[in-house]
Amino acid sequence: MSEESSTATATVPAPKAPAASEGEALLQVHDLVKHFPIKKGLLQRQVGAVQAVDGLTFDVRQGETLGVVGESGCGKSTMGRLITRLLEPTSGKITFEGVDISHLSTAKMRPLRRDIQMIFQDPYSSLNPRHTVGTIVGAPFRLQGIKTENGTKAAVQDLLELCGLNPEHYNRYPHEFSGGQRQRIGIARALALRPKMIVADEPVSALDVSIQAQVVNLLDDLQTELGLTYVVIAHDLSVVRHVSDRVAVMYLGKIVEIADRDSLYASPMHPYTNALMSAVPVPDPSRKQEHNRILLTGDVPSPVNPPSGCHFRTRCWKATEKCAEIEPPLVALKTGHQVACHYPENAPTDVIAETITVSKEAGEAVAKAAEAAVAAKAEETAEAAETAEVAEVAAAEEAPADAEPEAAEAAAEESTEAVESTEAAESTEGADAKGETKS
Ligand SMILES: Nc1ncnc2c1ncn2[C@@H]1O[C@H](COP(=O)(O)OP(=O)(O)OP(=O)(O)O)[C@@H](O)[C@H]1O
């Protein structure tokens, strides 16, 4: 970094002292679930749910980059929006620096928005075309009511410089920039309040390959310079390999494998991870012979009605009856290497026998719990159906809007989500089109 820019960055608020030391968990996620309700009919009764995220448990350590990979629709973006609290979780716990943020209200989340920021995939739709770069990057200061030493303009120009943009372009509009430059503007905006953690959802997939490397390198440099913690969501395994310290592989709302990058790439244990890895092209023709390509058949099943047991079993060449009956728990087969599979590959042989016993016991416990849950659910559904019927009759006879408690509740839930999501989008001033359409 030039002398000029290092002097300049001094006007931006100084980074807050990290509360967690190196290697300690900054973010802890426990059994996180997000089910989007599917509603039908005049009364908008819930007839099912998209199980986008279905029980995620993981940590993000101070200063590391956790890469999250998986096919389209497996719940990566939903996970990202949950941990930045752009979405309200259905259940589970999210702890940031020891504080439970799972169900914090919009007002209580506001100060925390300074610490957790998001970079969106599409630099074309995440920047307001009617605002100048100065307004876009300066928005977080305005929204949080922060006064900077030499004024917002100087702070914004420092941020532009930090992200490799010309500070003179302060008054330009997004359409005057290329895709890579726009993503840099998005990064500058995310950095404005010196966050501790940044969730980057497919930060380079909308960019040309030549530009991708520049943006990845910029993220790398900023991490070193500012001590940032990243969660990088991507479907490109080479990008994830380059940026990550640890990698989590997701399939249909669940983490199927999580490990240190080198361990995961050298000896992937879950058949799904193996299949993903084998799909990466090998540039060296002499190594092509030994490269066994695993072709996955079919599509990812619908998250509305996922397969029983192991979600991957319908596409897995190793699946047996056991996989349909018992959901494999995520267990550590090596230090720092967890996998959820009854028949893991590349696992140390001494731990396999042990794991099989553990997973059998855990599986039995899960099966028992599932049976109990099904019985409880059946009872609950019967009760709910009865209540709904009574409400429907009352609705038909008297005041229709007031007499449908379920629908009213669901609407309230949805509007809370919409408010949350709008507020969050505001905090970054990012009109993220995907979020707007989905939420
Ligand atoms: N607001 C929503 N309402 C209903 N379903 C949703 C909503 N948001 C996401 N989904 C569904 O949840 C599932 C997971 O979506 P998500 O976008 O998290 O997956 P992804 O792995 O990020 O995929 P992609 O890489 O294509 O964005 C999908 O089936 C999607 O259709």
- For the CA of 253, the closest atom of ligand 1 is 14
- For the CA of 80, the closest atom of ligand 1 is 18
ipTM of predicted complex? 0.97
What is the whole-number distance in angstroms between the Cα of residue 24 and the centre of ligand 1? Answer: 30
Longest dimension (CA), the chain: 78
CA angle 179/181/183 to nearest 5° reads 70
**Of the residues 90, 250, 438, 439, which should be mutated to test ligand 1's pocket, given the most ligand atoms within 8 Å of the CB?**
438
- For the CA of 235, the closest atom of ligand 1 is 25
- pLDDT at position 122: 79
What is the whole-number distance in angstroms between the Cα of residue 214 and the centre of ligand 1? Answer: 28
- pLDDT at position 3: 36
- For the CA of 53, the closest atom of ligand 1 is 14
Tell me, using a 6 A CB cutoff, whether residue 152 lines ligand 1: no
Tell me, using a 6 A CB cutoff, whether residue 306 lines ligand 1: no
Q: Which of 83, 108, 80 is nearest to 94 (CA)?
A: 83
Gap between the Cα atoms of 107 and 85, Å rounded: 12
- pLDDT at position 369: 56
Nearest CA to ligand 1 atom 24: 72
What is the whole-number distance in angstroms between the Cα of residue 75 and the centre of ligand 1? Answer: 6
Question: Which regions in the chain score pLDDT beneath 50?
Answer: 1-22, 381, 384-385, 387-388, 390-439
Tell me, using a 6 A CB cutoff, whether residue 121 lines ligand 1: no
- For the CA of 250, the closest atom of ligand 1 is 21
Contacts of 134 (CB under 8 A, 6+ apart): 153, 156, 170, 171
First-to-last alpha carbon distance for the chain, in angstroms, is 40
Gap between the Cα atoms of 328 and 324, Å rounded: 10
- pLDDT at position 142: 85
Tell me, using a 6 A CB cutoff, whether residue 160 lines ligand 1: no
Tell me, using a 6 A CB cutoff, whether residue 36 lines ligand 1: yes
- pLDDT at position 373: 54
Q: Which of 298, 235, 306 is nearest to 33 (CA)?
A: 306
- pLDDT at position 58: 95
Give the CB-side neighbour count of residue 322, counting CA atoms within 13 A: 11
Tell me, using a 6 A CB cutoff, whether residue 438 lines ligand 1: yes
- pLDDT at position 18: 40
- pLDDT at position 382: 52
- pLDDT at position 185: 93
Gap between the Cα atoms of 104 and 281, Å rounded: 44
Nearest CA to ligand 1 atom 31: 73
Tell me, using a 6 A CB cutoff, whether residue 39 lines ligand 1: no
- pLDDT at position 260: 95
- For the CA of 202, the closest atom of ligand 1 is 25
pLDDT in tens, 399-436: 333 333 343 344 334 434 433 443 444 444 443 433 33
pTM reported for the whole predicted model: 0.75
Q: Which of 133, 177, 170 is nearest to 154 (CA)?
A: 170
**Of the residues 46, 76, 204, 250, which should be mutated to test ligand 1's pocket, given the most ligand atoms within 8 Å of the CB?**
76
- pLDDT at position 76: 94
- pLDDT at position 374: 53
